[in-house]
Structure 1
Amino acid sequence: MMKKILTYILFSSVLLLGGCKDFLDLPPKNQRAVTTLNDVKSALAGYLDAFVRTNTKPIIGPSPIITEAQNMMFEAYSDNFDFAGNMSQYINAKNIHAQEKFYANKLLFNDTETTDYIWNNYYAAIGFLNALIDQCDNLKDADPSELKRVKGEMLVHRAFYIFKLQQYFVPMDKEELGIPLYLHTGQEEIDIVMDRKKSSEIYRVVTGDLKAALEYYQSEGPNDGFNRFFNARFIQNLLAQVYWFKAESSAKESTDYEQAKVYAEAATKDVDALIPNTLVAFQNVQRNLNPDYPAVYQQSVSFGMLMPIYGSNLDYIGYSPNSLKVPADFFSLFDDTDIRKAAYFTGSVMSSTWPDGMVNGQKHIRIHLFTPEEAYLILTESQYRLGQQDQALATLNKFKGFRGAKAKAGLNGTELLQEIVNERRKEFFCDTDKRWLDLKRYNIGNIERKLRFFNKEYTVKVEAGDYHYALPIPLTELQENPAMVPNMGWNPIVF
């Protein structure tokens, strides 16, 4: 039986329990009474603080919201690097940043530690937010405007975590294999079964929560000193992402691209002057030096955590990995005038100053959520999918102009769609999970690797749309949750 949610919340780190049910059915530990709106805000502030200060970890959930290990795993599971050509740099006595097992797990699609972390921490955050959202509904004497601002903030965060779990762990073509989800109301429920929901049901929850938050924002506006995700542009940006991704899934509806277009247009309104169009401005955004740039920024606490995949900041004194190669077909996509080419590469190899332009690049993970660039490219594709090809090409060329890339002419049909996909690949190089999600969504992820680890040859072949594009459900979840259906195909490698 699901325990009744009392007026308590977690104020310490959640233990990694047996399954998502343990997070969604949130029992009180190290308790503090939550009886007023200020209590809810105080609890939420301990989570939101990590979105304000880079040296702070939240009281619950991942830190940062997309971790270094997560970023590197999705890059390793993608096609932007020539990993076979870089092996001598990765497995190298001068590489002090990672051991051979790290690369074996990442490059052979065997990183269960990271997938387990995502599952556990994202569900823990959802459970935490569920409990506080429930409590908001019981605060009858609270200021109604501030209550909407606080609840709206939490609805957007919860929607983000649910959406990401759906993107990561659910096959694109299996309607019945959505993620498990229970949004309790604080009332006692009996015999709750944590089975996999239909994907369409999950998307209804996500879009419903975001639209409710948007209504709260439009009626009340933000508390600028408190809110982080509760922002009309950010909410509409996330709605555009959700409808865009959903439109190619088993849950697709005929109106998805129209909805994606509406919200992408709203998210890009009056942003052109804020999008960087020079190399220095582009790099300054990466360092969070432009306070007007309309996105939520997070930076990892630990210096240099991305070096194992993206290159050592100590390459100038001979440490590996350095001068990392990318596939020739990817490099050839960049015009010489493209500011991204100068930001990413030295010659044809990865620049040691990526991503920030600083000598001996710092290699923090730098996350920008809800960027106008992402909304622009969603708008472009939505126009294309709605048969507005001339508008799509015009929007695409406008976007290319921000980056100094050459405009295209005469593109239509599949050529235009391919150019949109290529533009996304250039724009989101090394950006969290985006290329892996594109390989999944566009059904284009064919990868074959023959690599040697621990004096043994390994071959991994990933075909477009196969099981590699729905991450493995953690073993603890399968053991503790009899209703859970696994993602088939995964067989962990023991080195």
Structure 2
Amino acid sequence: MKKRYFYFFLVALLLASCEDLVEVDDPTNQLGTAQVFEDVQTANAALTSLYVNLRDRSVITEGSYIGIGPLLASYADDLDCYHYDQNGVVDISQNLQQETNTTIESIWKAAYQQIYYANAIIYGAQHSTALPTEDKNRLQGEAILLRSLLYYYLQQLFGDIPYTTSLDYEYNRSLGKTEASAVLEQLVSDLGDAIVLLEDDYRNAERIYPNGKVAELLLARIYLLQEEWALAQQTAESILQSPLYAFQPDILEVFHKSGSHILWQLKPKNSGDATTEATFYYFTGAAPHAYALTGDLVGSFTGDDLRKQAWMAPVSLNDDSWYRPDKYKNLAGTNTNEYSVVFRLEEVYFILAEALAKQNRLDEALPYLNATRERAGLDALASLSSEDFITELLAEKRREFFTEFGHRFFDLKRLGRLDELSAVKPNWVAHKSVWPLPQNELLLNPNLNPQNPGY
């Protein structure tokens, strides 16, 4: 490995939001990897730089044009896009993306940069002879979890993808694709390692760093993809049995940072800053500048659903009207109680409901489906057939998680119902269940061929 790639750490500390880290020239005043991991403070700083990068510019940056929340909500049927034609965002919303789409390329590049960051942290912690074992485990566990989350989203977006744990630039630049099922198997193994390495107790009371239960939640997602229903059930139950968590009964408190239903959340950069979601989706007294909720989504709520009242805001201008997402309400300078929630307990309820239903244990599954309905002021559902249960689960999860981290698209995909989008999306065709690999990446690395079918 060329030594310049070991100097990534201080570059990350100084330029946490850098966009084009492909090659880094030898610096004259930077710490090398071994030096970074001789000290807990500098090792923590290296890991913090990865969190900053994820918060500010990544697939989980919800208030960003490369965040999967808005992109996949408009790619499916929850958001209408009003962007000017910025970086191919409009094409994505219209299901017209091609291999030259610059937003898709940005997502790919940012994710693999962050995966490289994570690999370097894992390597540095593993090989440190100075750090206490507890810190080595924590650093590795968190980095493995973050890497797994990035790989999960890449695999769901692109299908077969390169998987690497290497820091060898020459090796990585010519890496071929790993088949999707093998990537998921590898993530099961990686998340098993993360669960062993991470404590369940949070290292920060505000839950801004993930713990072992966050790794379990991501693992349960993957078990659903693999149709390992019993394992998904057991993993979800392990989370629910933890005394750290409790279902939030108040609809108005779901997106407040202090809730014990929150597994992991991202803290804004400065005190008083709004969440990226609050700023990104906000408009009033004018036409939408980015996105508004679709009529199809708004129409899926009954008038007595408290989520329609609490999590959507009507906006009118002359004879036109829209609804904007209003889950996060505090704008810049006024925010004292909202962080961006990445994982919350309600998802665990849905995972458990689906896993039990797929085992034909519908009566056991119903309470987990009804929990969010009843909190929203709706009547509990009674006995359902297996097919009707999945239909209701999809509809209820849509109402609960609209605009959050691509849940709607990923749920339709996992459950084989993406073709339902053709009723409201005129350009929808089956091969668009995955996105094209970026053209520039194929040109740089022919081993990524063939392109995904249909592109």
Question: What is aligned with 2:266?
Answer: 298
Give the Cα separation in 1 of the matches to 2:169 and 2:325: 55
Tell me how large the CA RMSD over aligned residues is.
4.1
Instruction: Report whether the alignment pairs 1:215 with 2:196.
Output: yes
1:246-261 paired onto structure 2 within 5 Å: 246-247=226-227, 256-261=228-233
TM, length-normalised to structure 1: 0.74
Instruction: Report whether the alignment pairs 1:278 with 2:250.
Output: yes
Question: What is aligned with 2:48?
Answer: 48
Give the Cα separation in 2 of the matches to 1:405 and 1:299: 32
TM, length-normalised to structure 2: 0.79
**CA separation of 1:474/1:266 partners in 2, compared to 1, >3 Å: closer, same or farther?**
same
Give the Cα separation in 2 of the matches to 1:437 and 1:279: 24
Question: What is aligned with 1:434?
Answer: 407
Question: What is aligned with 1:477?
Answer: 441
Letter in 2 for 1:75: A
Question: What is aligned with 2:223?
Answer: 243
| 1:462 CA drift (Å) | 0.8
Question: What is aligned with 1:461?
Answer: 427
Note the alpha carbon deviations across 1:53-111, whole angstroms, 9 max, x for none: xxx65699638645521232212211124x4xxx8xx4xxxxxxx43567743433356
Question: What is aligned with 2:20?
Answer: 16
The 3-state SS of whatever aligns with 1:295 is: strand
**CA separation of 1:271/1:35 partners in 2, compared to 1, >3 Å: closer, same or farther?**
same
1:17-416 paired onto structure 2 within 5 Å: 31-35=30-34, 37-39=37-39, 42-48=42-48, 62=58, 65-69=61-65, 70=67, 71-81=69-79, 83=80, 90=82, 98-99=83-84, 104-110=90-96, 112-170=101-159, 178-184=160-166, 193-217=174-198, 223-224=203-204, 228-247=208-227, 256-269=228-241, 274-282=246-254, 285=255, 288-290=256-258, 292-298=260-266, 310=281, 312-315=282-285, 318-320=286-288, 326-328=294-296, 330-345=297-312, 351=323, 354-357=326-329, 367-416=340-389
| 1:147 CA drift (Å) | 1.2
**CA separation of 1:448/1:212 partners in 2, compared to 1, >3 Å: closer, same or farther?**
closer
Letter in 2 for 1:76: S
Checking the alignment, whether the CA contact within 8 Å between 2:138 and 2:197 is kept in structure 1 is yes
Gaps in structure 1 of 5+ consecutive residues:
91-97, 171-177, 248-255, 451-458, 491-495
| 1:460 CA drift (Å) | 4.8
Checking the alignment, whether the CA contact within 8 Å between 2:277 and 2:328 is kept in structure 1 is no
**CA separation of 1:409/1:350 partners in 2, compared to 1, >3 Å: closer, same or farther?**
farther
**CA separation of 1:159/1:75 partners in 2, compared to 1, >3 Å: closer, same or farther?**
same
Checking the alignment, whether the CA contact within 8 Å between 2:262 and 2:344 is kept in structure 1 is yes
Mean Cα deviation higher: 147-156 or 35-44: 35-44
**CA separation of 1:195/1:327 partners in 2, compared to 1, >3 Å: closer, same or farther?**
same
Note the alpha carbon deviations across 1:278-336, whole angstroms, 9 max, x for none: 34223xx2xx34254423222677969769995x5232xx45469956345x4454344
Checking the alignment, whether the CA contact within 8 Å between 1:129 and 1:158 is kept in structure 2 is yes
The 3-state SS of whatever aligns with 2:77 is: coil
Instruction: Report whether the alignment pairs 1:488 with 2:453.
Output: yes
Letter in 2 for 1:48: T
| 1:376 CA drift (Å) | 0.8
Give the Cα separation in 2 of the matches to 1:180 and 1:468: 20
The 3-state SS of whatever aligns with 1:370 is: strand
Give the Cα separation in 2 of the matches to 1:136 and 1:60: 24
Checking the alignment, whether the CA contact within 8 Å between 2:278 and 2:331 is kept in structure 1 is no
**CA separation of 1:62/1:277 partners in 2, compared to 1, >3 Å: closer, same or farther?**
same
Checking the alignment, whether the CA contact within 8 Å between 1:7 and 1:135 is kept in structure 2 is no
Give the Cα separation in 2 of the matches to 1:191 and 1:355: 40
The 3-state SS of whatever aligns with 2:213 is: helix
Checking the alignment, whether the CA contact within 8 Å between 1:277 and 1:402 is kept in structure 2 is yes
Gaps in structure 2 of 5+ consecutive residues:
316-320
**CA separation of 1:432/1:300 partners in 2, compared to 1, >3 Å: closer, same or farther?**
farther
Letter in 2 for 1:374: E
Give the Cα separation in 1 of the matches to 2:164 and 2:339: 32
| 1:222 CA drift (Å) | 5.7
Checking the alignment, whether the CA contact within 8 Å between 2:50 and 2:117 is kept in structure 1 is no
Give the Cα separation in 2 of the matches to 1:239 and 1:210: 6
Question: What is aligned with 1:251?
Answer: none
Give the Cα separation in 2 of the matches to 1:306 and 1:227: 18
Checking the alignment, whether the CA contact within 8 Å between 1:425 and 1:435 is kept in structure 2 is yes
Letter in 2 for 1:243: Y
The 3-state SS of whatever aligns with 2:446 is: coil
Give the Cα separation in 1 of the matches to 2:157 and 2:367: 32
| 1:15 CA drift (Å) | 5.4
Give the Cα separation in 1 of the matches to 2:276 and 2:208: 25
Give identity over the alignment, percent: 20
**CA separation of 1:443/1:142 partners in 2, compared to 1, >3 Å: closer, same or farther?**
same
Checking the alignment, whether the CA contact within 8 Å between 1:157 and 1:229 is kept in structure 2 is no
| 1:113 CA drift (Å) | 2.3
Letter in 1 for 2:84: Q
Checking the alignment, whether the CA contact within 8 Å between 2:163 and 2:178 is kept in structure 1 is yes
| 1:163 CA drift (Å) | 1.1
| 1:397 CA drift (Å) | 2.0
| 1:445 CA drift (Å) | 2.4
Checking the alignment, whether the CA contact within 8 Å between 1:240 and 1:260 is kept in structure 2 is yes
